[in-house]
Structure 1
Amino acid sequence: MLQKVKDIYSESIQIQISASSLLSENIANAAQMVMQCLLSGHKVIACGSGRSHANAQLLVANLLNRYDLARPSFPSVLLDLNGAIGNALIFEKARETLYQHQFNAIACPGDLLLAFAPLGSEKTVLNVIENAVEKELRVVALTGANNDTIQGILAAEDLQIAVPATKESRILENHLFVINALCELVDLSLFPSA
């Protein structure tokens, strides 16, 4: 069992090393996109399906509450299906379009979509990305190495942060790193003296 733990660490570290050289520029560019969105008075909309929903939720919590700095809340919304909203939509709509209805109701020109799709095949998230592209909203898609579908949907001004891994658990933990890096970059850029 001890060796397995060491193997998991080793696998995770190797992916982080690879991601460092492959993703740093895209993470910095994504932070710029978030800052431009917020500074122009718009909101960040986040979504994820399955276990990646928790990552989207963490991003929104960091933007609404704080990351490291005590600062004003940033406008951000999580597409979510909890409670009565989820039950009503599930009862009346196809599962693949559930987030789409919320997105269409709240998305405005200038908003930014951060979509978490580690496997690249999450229909609920793919449909929201397609909607965002149709509405000409900018998109940051956080994916894994298998991302051909999403890559084909994104517009030229959109951004993909594709973790160099195919195992969902490694992708999800790297998405957590990306979330932390984005929030730290945004905080430090908007509040440099804090």
Structure 2
Amino acid sequence: MIAERMAEHEAVLQGTKALEPLLAAAGSMVSEALLTGHKILFCGNGGSAADAQHMAAEIMGRFQAEREPYPALALTVDTSVLTAIGNDYGYEAVFARQVRGLGREGDVLVGISTSGTSRNVLAALAVAKKMGLKCLGFSGAKSEQMASFCDICLAVPSTVTARIQEMHIMMGHILCEIAETAIVRQKK
């Protein structure tokens, strides 16, 4: 089983390499937003919520370079907000309502959904798009629905959740490194 999983990972990685130009464009999108005083919002469910928090922490804290913090927020972390919105408006609205309250034109919303069909992530992307935020999606092979709301959609060529998540965190790290490198260069 171990050898099979490693072989699956390698095969998905090879397919994901085709996303390099889109990942570079996503890095530019995030870098430009941060360098012009905007923030990055992240959302996702389950493992994708953990990825959202992880990426927000890399931007707010630091990734590899010692630098000032930059505004990034995972919309998955405030249990009072999540439960209030979920109770009053339904779970589908938990991220969209936060985008309406926190998002501003020029910010970036990163929606993460391995299926590409998470209703609350799609609702947040739809609201963000209407508000003038840039929209970046992280999905799996079935990304058509999500891609329709995104400026850029990084669709991993797999339908296996674990393999998709492995590529999402790798691409998330690369995205953070691109942004951090741009920030450090501009500050010198």
TM-score normalized by the length of structure 1: 0.91
Question: Amino acid of the residue matched to residue 178 of structure 1?
Answer: M
Q: Following the alignment from structure 1 to structure 2, what is the Cα–Cα distance between the partners of residues 81 and 123?
A: 18
- Of 42, 48, 51 in structure 1, the residue corresponding to residue 47 of structure 2 is 51
Q: What is aligned with 1:175?
A: 168
Output the CA distance in 2 between the equivalents of 1:17 and 1:140.
Answer: 22
Q: Contact 1:47 / 1:114 at 8 angstroms: preserved in 2?
A: yes
Does the 8 Å contact 1:31/1:186 carry over to 2? yes
Aligned-pair CA distance for 1:99: 1.2
Q: What residue ranges of structure 2 are gaps of 5+ in the alignment?
A: none
Q: Does 1:161 find its partner at 2:154?
A: yes
Residue 64 of structure 1 corresponds to 60
Larger radius of gyration: 1
SS of 2:95's equivalent in the other structure is helix
Structure 1 residues 83 and 132: CA distance shift in structure 2, 3 A: closer
Could you tell me which amino acid in structure 2 is paired with residue 131 of structure 1? V
Instruction: Give the Cα separation in 2 of the matches to 1:30 and 1:142.
Output: 11
Runs of 4+ in 1 over 3 A off after TM superposition: none
Q: Please, what TM-score do these two structures have when normalized by structure 2?
A: 0.94
Superposed displacement of residue 81, structure 1: 5.2
Cα displacement string for residues 139-184 of structure 1 (whole angstroms, at most 9, x for unaligned residues): 1101111011112333xxx111111111111101100000111111
Counterpart residue type for residue 177 of structure 1: M
Measured after TM superposition, the shift of residue 186 of structure 1 is: 1.6
Are the counterparts in 1 of residues 23 and 154 from structure 2 also a CA contact under 8 Å? Answer: yes
What is the RMSD computed on CA atoms of the aligned residues?
Answer: 1.5
- Is the contact between residue 114 and residue 164 of structure 2 (CA under 8 Å) also seen in structure 1? yes
Percent identical across equivalent pairs?
A: 26
Matched, 1:187 2:188: no
